[in-house]
Structure 1
Amino acid sequence: MTADDRPLVILQPAPQRPERIFRPAVRAELDRLFRVVDLSDDQDPASFDRALPEAFAVIGQPDLPTERLAEATALRAICNVEGNFFGNVDYPTAFARGIHVLGCGPAYAQAVAEHALGLALDVARGISREDRAFRSGTERYVADGNADAVLLRGARVGLIGYGNLGRALRPLLEAFAVDLQVHDPWLPDRALAEVGLVAAPLPELLRRSQFVFVLATVTSDSEHLLGADQLAALPDGTRLILVSRAAVVDYDALWSELDAGRILAGVDVWPEEPVPADDPYRRLEGLVFSGHRAGGIPQAFERIGEMVVDDLRQIAAGLPPVRMQVAARELVGRYRNRPVG
């Protein structure tokens, strides 16, 4: 393949920077295999539109409505590197044209799973709470600081959602011999049973769990999936770990439960980010705060670039993508994701 007949790839990955997701060797591989039109610092729609008719792939998540896709006659792949499928793409047209719509969600799964486990251990044992007490001179020693401590080992654990995050978290939890149940309405009970999991209706999972991990994406069906009634069903002392999408939970209802001291929580995602300075969540002792940090670590970002290059190579060779998440035509229109700041 000569330089002139390499497939053209538009690189417009905002909010990512190319150097964040492509290590030098991986970027060199991308440039060797493809003619890269790098629009990272050029947000002029006219520049994008000039390159689009010849584009084999788009790396990024720019607006691709029907009119733009009509001009993209050579387009074979859209590689979303932000982490969410947005409503700014005419997905039915892309699917009808055989354009691969791919997401980078799997790149974050291991990092999020490990962070979720860390939050669970923290709220189980009061680690960051007692650290704060030490810094204010009010620390407690030995049993005095353990009145509400619990073990994760052998605990009744519920996973809400069993996608990328659930599959990454499960092996970490196996080391603790937990009694695990899963609620995921997008998966048949028998599909979960085939991998040794117990499926449970949401009310049952909430009533019995000592730890609940919220791992579900936000869709038209799951907005405020955990409202006041569902949170009230949690047993006293439940540890709630929220690392997927803020809109899955009613934060006013969650605040009430935490303020009453009835449950504890580790929370990584927020309805408004940054969290306002006067937000009442800031004064809660039963909360471990995390500022949307679970997935965005350097190793995860670099994996995105590797996944993009591998799958574009696959598609250019007439093979299916194997590393990125393939958008499901039945689901992509139901997502209610918003950009991560």
Structure 2
Amino acid sequence: MTGKPVVLLRPAPQRRDRIFTPDTLRRLHDLFDVVDLEDDPSPGAVDRALPDAFAIVGQPDLPAERLRGAERLKAIVNVEGNFFPNVDYATAFAQGVRVLGCGTAYSQAVAEYALGLALDLARGITRGDRAVRAGTEEYTAAGNLDAVLLRRARVGMVGFGNLGRALRPLLAPFETAVRVYDPWLPAAVLQDAGVVPSSLEDTLSDSDFVFVLATATAENAHFLDGSALDLLRPGARLVLVSRANVVDYAALHERLAQGRFLAAIDVWPEEPIPAEDPFRTLETAVLSAHRAGGIPQAFTSIGDMVCDDLELMSRGLPPVRLQVAAPELVTRYRNKPVG
């Protein structure tokens, strides 16, 4: 041991060299005694390192008995983006361990991608590209029969967490009126953010563009079911970039096949999307393979955030860049790991 705080590094399903640049990884080693277990998946390796660990970067299985043997542990840093149910969070919090997440690293990338998808739905950009390649393009007015402007459109957001907060300023130049449904936030918080607090029903029925930005929890599986989707205005544009579990995909496909509205979809109940999935043949949907957040700049920002906050904590200061998990919420998430 070097006398420096010990950091146990097992970032799976994330990869070390994806989230740490060479310079950032060097910084981590300069600051801490790094026990790198990326290539050692054995439980015994974690058990041997835990008693001395100041922080865990990654989210290996941490039941209560394991955590009780980690008396020096101050932080569990999830670097994948989702809090998994393989940690006894109650024990961690009782021992004064901070549970930290990197979800904010992806927010800007997802927000920009969501805006791009909305513009595609408004103007049929990728659909027009396919038509040109197939030799079936239509010019000028004939190719714009269902085109609309995002400017001054009525926009709804379902959820106003990291993604909603990152998307809101990107919409400002379009002079959109934005209403938000988020049962976890008081109306005053939404009003301070310049959006209109709204019910789910009004958010869906009174919006031309609807961004689904809600996380998956134990309570909201498939809450955007057929009845909810039927509230969307004819010709509305639905952008789904958060979690597949919040939507009934069978009901969504049925309505898209009927041409009720258009949708852009980046997340799927099963990934990779099965070859025979009926969504693949829809012309009323823009399809994306879970690409919104996972760009190199987002990944490497995670490593920077980890180094910054662990250095602060080693000096007895609180973390400021990573997201601190709330004990009341962390066990309610039902997000699946991203491949």
In structure 1, the partner of 2:324 is 326
> Which of the residues 213, 216, 238 maps onto 1:215?
213
Alignment of 1:15-26 (within 5 A): 15-26=13-24
Separation in structure 2 between the aligned mates of residue 303 and residue 317 of structure 1, nearest angstrom: 22
Match of 1:187 among 169, 185, 188: 185
**Cα offset, 1:48, TM superposition:** 1.1
- Which residue, out of 70, 73, 85, partners 1:72? 70
2:193 maps to 1:178: no
Match of 2:163 in 1: 165
| 1:215-294 matches, cutoff 5 A | 215-294=213-292
In 2, distance between residues paired with 1:248 and 1:25?
39
- In 2, Cα distance between equivalents of 1:10 and 1:117: 38
The 3-state SS of whatever aligns with 1:138 is coil
Secondary structure at the aligned position of 2:9 is classed as strand
Equivalent of residue 53 in structure 2, options 52, 55, 64: 55
Give aligned-pair identity as a percent: 63
> In the aligned structure 2, how far is the partner of 1:26 from the partner of 1:56?
19
The Cα offsets for residues 55-96 of structure 1, whole Å up to 9 and x where unpaired, read as 000000111110110111110000000000111111111111
Aligned counterpart for 1:115 among listed residues 91, 113, 117? 113
Question: TM-score with structure 1 length normalisation?
Answer: 0.98
Q: In 1, Cα distance between the equivalents of 2:27 and 2:181? A: 41
Give the stretch that moved more between structures: 192-201 or 243-252. 192-201
Post-superposition shift, 1:289? Answer: 0.7
Q: Runs of 4+ in structure 1 displaced over 6 angstroms? A: none
In 2, Cα distance between the equivalents of 1:146 and 1:68? 61
Q: Tell me the CA shift for residue 158 of structure 1.
A: 0.2
1:83 aligned residue: 81
Q: Which residue number in structure 2 is paired with residue 11 of structure 1?
A: 9
What is the CA deviation profile of residues 84-117 of structure 1, one whole-angstrom value per residue up to 9, with x for unaligned ones?
0111111111111110100000000000000000
Q: For the residues of structure 1 that align with 2:232 and 2:328, how far apart are their CA atoms?
A: 32
Letter matched to residue 60 of structure 2: P
- RMSD of aligned C-alpha atoms? 0.8
Residue among 94, 112, 134 paired with 1:96: 94
2:313 is matched with: 315
AA in 1 matched with 2:97? I
Q: CA deviation at 1:196?
A: 2.2
- Tell me the equivalent position of 1:335: 333
Distance in 2 of aligned mates of 1:101 and 1:126: 42
d(CA) in 1 for partners of 2:310, 2:51: 18
| 8 Å CA contact retained: 2:177, 2:195 | no
- Given residue 310 of structure 1, which amino acid in structure 2 is its aligned partner? D
Q: Deviations over 1:153-178 (max 9, x none)?
A: 00000011111000000000001000
Q: Cα offset for 1:194? A: 2.2
Letter in 1 for 2:243: R
Distance across 1 between alignment mates of 2:284 and 2:11: 38
Letter in 1 for 2:199: P
Deviation at 1:295, TM superposition (A): 0.2
1:15 is displaced (CA, Å) by: 1.7
Q: Quote how far apart the aligned CAs of 1:286 are.
A: 0.7
Q: Distance between the aligned counterparts of 2:167 and 2:216, measured in 1?
A: 19
Aligned residues between the structures: 339
State the Cα distance separating 1:330 from its structure 2 match.
0.6
Unaligned runs of 5+ in 1: none
Tell me, in whole angstroms, the C-alpha distance in 2 between the residues paired with 1:54 and 1:67: 15
What are the ranges of 5 or more consecutive residues in structure 2 without an aligned counterpart?
A: none
Q: Distance in 2 between matches of 1:336 and 1:43?
A: 24
What is the alpha-carbon distance in structure 1 between the residues aligned to residue 230 and residue 192 of structure 2? 32
Partner amino acid for 2:235? G
